[in-house]
């Protein structure tokens, strides 16, 4: 199984996303919600939830991909079902389909009270690792 980099970098670092569990069958990621994550009206920005969901799915997709292959996002959707102002979110990603050229992951984001905040589905392309964006 391929290994993850020590640091996710990029937007994951900016949003303070941490990977708690990472296997090809399940990824758990956490993220604090601070005013830096808010939209103009003091609630968690929906785009931040989407970043958390796609990060969790992409980590799982990378781990589920064959050697020499990587995962890159093709499509993501999200239903925001509960507003959040603060606390810690937990995203749990599980694969619905892990094919040769595509993967589909379901991601459920919950608050500290285990209430559903966002339900997302991410479709990933499985590409040659040399075609994947650089981690640098």
Annotate 41-80 with DSSP letters as a single string: TSSB-HHHHHHHHHHHHHHHHHHHSPTTEEEEEEEEEEEE
Catalytic residue among 25, 54, 75, 106: 54
- For the chain, how many residues are written? 136
Of the candidates 49, 54, 62, the residue with the CA atom closest to the CA atom of residue 22:
62
* 20 classed as catalytic: no
Cα 121 to Cα 129: distance, rounded to the nearest angstrom = 23
Q: Active-site residues: which are they?
A: 54
């Amino acid at each position: 199984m391929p290994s993850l980099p020590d640091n996710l970098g990029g937007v994951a670092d900016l949003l303070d996303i941490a990977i708690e569990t990472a296997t090809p069958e399940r990824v758990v990621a956490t993220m604090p919600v601070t005013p830096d994550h808010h939209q103009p009206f003091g609630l968690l920005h929906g785009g931040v939830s989407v970043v958390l969901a796609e990060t969790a799915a992409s980590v799982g997709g990378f781990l589920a991909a064959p050697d020499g292959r990587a995962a890159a996002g093709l499509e993501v959707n999200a239903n925001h079902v509960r507003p959040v102002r603060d606390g810690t979110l937990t995203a749990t990603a599980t694969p619905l389909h892990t094919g040769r050229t595509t993967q589909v992951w379901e991601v459920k984001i919950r608050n500290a009270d285990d209430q559903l905040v966002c339900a997302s589905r991410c479709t990933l392309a499985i590409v040659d690792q040399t075609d994947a964006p650089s981690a640098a």
